């Protein structure tokens, strides 16, 4: 199958969102968001519900009119263009398949609206159906399809029109866990095969991390950070991003002190945690900072281990996950700290209610000015 890249597509960015704003009465749904999406890029809008990601997607599709700002696709300002003249494909959360049409007619709808010759419609629809592994189901009613199959029909229907951009509005949220994992793989296959510029909306950080070239983290209508999944996980820009992406321990606010090559965090009532200073820790001496540590950056101390970054607390709970165990430890002055270790030994070695000493890898922590 030939890639769906449009031969007429000009060079440059596929989508430019310029200071787009949407107000609903007094409430601000999207607050002056600017974003460029490269051609062929898979970009994810990630955030909790109500963060404005779906509103932003609706504005790109043309269903929501921005209060201010511009939406430019392939160099053309589409802000005032009707949805049906935009050539933007979209997969809806509910799939929104036409219940009164069979699979073939659902997929053919966009091409029929474009008044293509019958033979061409037939050929293109067959290709899309084949690509989405729906061959043999052309005459099925959409009600007779499983969730995964409906998902594929929705995708086939959106890509068959060779859209300039493909929008995916939480398309996996209605599927069960196994199917979701499978569809993630298929989405990324589809993206590789078609090379379509894709904007994916989700509140599931796992989906975002595994699928995206770049992730746009949104909260309360504002963009918090735009970065690759790895950057986002390793160097979150702020506390919101740090806590939204993956599991993380947020330590209480601390005073940052710098002494030569060493940095220290002074936690009132707890003590000093130290580590070799890192380049990105450009805080003034005495600045107030907050440290974020992934559970894998916290481990039970070895017997007889001594050092600066040890904290003692009481085991509050073990959450056994098969390959690893997450242990919650109540540390006086800090609160619950999660540690993540391989295997299940920790459960018998440190029963719930017994004391445990934890070693914190402060050198890997994310420090954010508080």
Partner 1 sequence: MTQRRPFFITFLAPAVLTAVILVAAMFEVLQYSVRAFIPGALDVGGFTLDNFTRINRPIYWWVMLDTFYISFLTAIFSLLLSYPVAFALVRARRDWVRSLLVSLSITPLFTGEIVRTFSWMLMLGSDGFINSMLRKLSLIDMPLQIMYTRFGVVVALVQFSMPVMIILLATAISHVDRDCEKAAANLGASPGAVFWHVTLPLTLPGILSGIVVVFAWTMSAFSTPQLIGGGKVLMIANLAYLQGFSVLNLPFAATLSLIALVSALGSLVLMKSATSRIEKRLAIA
- From the CB of 103, what's the least distance to partner 1, in Å? 12
Residue 53 CB, nearest approach to partner 1 (Å) = 17
Of the candidate residues 20, 37, 43, 61, the single one contacting partner 1 (CB under 8 A): 61
Shortest gap between Cβ of 88 and partner 1 (angstroms)?
A: 7
Beta pairing class for 355-360 and 310-320: antiparallel
Least distance between partner 1 and beta carbon 46 (Å): 22
Q: Hey, is 313 helix, strand or coil? A: strand
Pairing of strands 198-202, 42-46: parallel
- Work out how close the CB of 277 gets to partner 1 at its nearest, in angstroms, rounded to a whole number: 52
Q: How many CB atoms lie within 10 A of CB 258?
A: 16
Q: How far apart are the first and last CA of the chain?
A: 52
Q: CB–CB of 51/65 below 8 Å?
A: no
Q: What are phi and psi of 25, to 5 degrees?
A: 65, -125
How far apart are alpha carbons 135 and 124 in whole angstroms?
13
Least separation in angstroms between residue 10's CB and partner 1 is 21
CB of 122 to partner 1, least distance (A): 17
CB under 8 A: which stretch of 82-90, 173-181, 227-235, 327-335 binds partner 1?
82-90
Question: Distance between CA 17 and CA 68 in Å, rounded?
Answer: 11
According to CB under 8 A, which one of 89, 221, 236, 295 is a site residue for partner 1?
A: 89
Tokens 């509910």 belong to 94
Residue 87 makes contact with partner 1 by CB under 8 A: yes
* Rg (alpha carbons) of the chain, rounded to whole number: 25
Count of positions on this chain that bind partner 1 (CB under 8 A) = 30
In this structure, the chain runs to a length of 370
Q: Shortest gap between Cβ of 191 and partner 1 (angstroms)?
A: 19
Per-residue binder mask for partner 1 (CB under 8 A), 4-43, x = binder: ----------------------------------------
**Positions 93 through 152 that interact with partner 1 (CB under 8 A):** 93-94, 96-100, 109-110, 113-114, 141-143
C-beta separation of 246 from 205 below 8 A: yes
For partner 1, the binding residue among 10, 48, 83, 276 (CB under 8 A) is 83
Of 61-69, 117-125, 226-234, 287-295, which part binds partner 1 (CB under 8 A)?
61-69
Is position 281 an interface residue for partner 1 (rule: CB under 8 A)? no
Q: Which residue number, 6 or 141, has a Cβ lying nearer to partner 1?
A: 141
Stretch that binds partner 1, among 58-66, 179-187, 252-260, 320-328 (CB under 8 A): 58-66
Q: Which residues contact 103 (CB under 8 A, 6 or more apart)?
A: 129, 134, 137, 138, 139, 140, 142, 145, 153
DSSP 8-state symbol, 211:
H
- The Cα diameter of the chain in Å comes to 79
Nearer to partner 1, 98 or 320 (CB): 98
Site for partner 1 contains 157 (CB under 8 A): yes
Tokens standing for 194? 């078609």
User: Is residue 340 close enough to count as binding partner 1 by CB under 8 A?
Assistant: no
CA angle 45, 198, 73 (to 5 degrees): 95
Q: Is 130 helix (H, G, I), strand (E, B) or coil?
A: helix
Please report, as ranges, the residues that interact with partner 1 according to CB under 8 A.
Answer: 61-63, 82-90, 92-94, 96-100, 109-110, 113-114, 141-143, 157-158, 161
């Amino acid at each position: 199958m030939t890639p769906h890249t449009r031969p007429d597509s000009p060079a440059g960015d596929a989508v430019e969102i310029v200071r787009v704003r949407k107000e609903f009465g007094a409430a601000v749904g999207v607050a002056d968001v600017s974003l460029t999406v490269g051609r062929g890029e898979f970009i994810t809008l990630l955030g909790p519900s109500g963060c404005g990601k779906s509103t932003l997607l609706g504005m790109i599709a043309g269903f929501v009119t921005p209060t201010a700002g511009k939406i430019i696709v392939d160099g053309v300002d589409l802000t005032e263009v009707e949805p049906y003249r935009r050539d933007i494909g979209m997969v809806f959360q509910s799939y929104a398949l036409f219940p009164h049409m069979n699979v073939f007619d659902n997929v053919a709808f966009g091409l029929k609206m474009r008044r293509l010759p019958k033979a061409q419609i037939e050929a293109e629809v067959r290709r899309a159906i084949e690509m989405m592994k729906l061959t043999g189901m052309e005459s099925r009613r959409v009600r007779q399809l499983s969730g995964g199959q409906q998902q594929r029909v929705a995708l086939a229907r959106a890509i068959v029109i060779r859209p300039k951009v493909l929008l995916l509005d939480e398309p996996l949220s209605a599927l069960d866990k196994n199917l979701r994992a499978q569809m993630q793989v298929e989405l990324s296959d589809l993206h590789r095969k078609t090379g379509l510029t894709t904007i994916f909306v989700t509140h599931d950080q796992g989906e975002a991390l595994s699928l995206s070239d770049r992730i746009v983290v949104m909260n309360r209508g504002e963009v918090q950070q735009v970065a690759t999944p790895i950057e986002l996980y390793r160097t979150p820009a702020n506390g919101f991003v740090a806590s939204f992406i993956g599991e993380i321990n947020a330590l209480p606010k601390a005073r940052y002190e710098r002494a030569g090559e060493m940095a220290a965090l002074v936690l009132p009532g707890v003590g000093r945690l130290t580590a070799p200073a890192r380049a990105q820790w450009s805080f003034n001496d005495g600045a107030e900072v907050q440290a974020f540590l992934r559970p894998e950056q916290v481990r039970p101390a070895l017997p007889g281990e001594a050092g600066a970054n040890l904290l003692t607390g009481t085991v509050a709970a073990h959450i056994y996950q098969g390959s690893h165990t997450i242990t919650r430890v109540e540390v006086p002055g800090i609160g619950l700290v999660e540690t993540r270790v391989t295997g299940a030994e920790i459960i018998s070695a440190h029963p719930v209610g017994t004391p445990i000493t934890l070693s914190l890898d402060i050198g890997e922590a994310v420090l954010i000015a508080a």
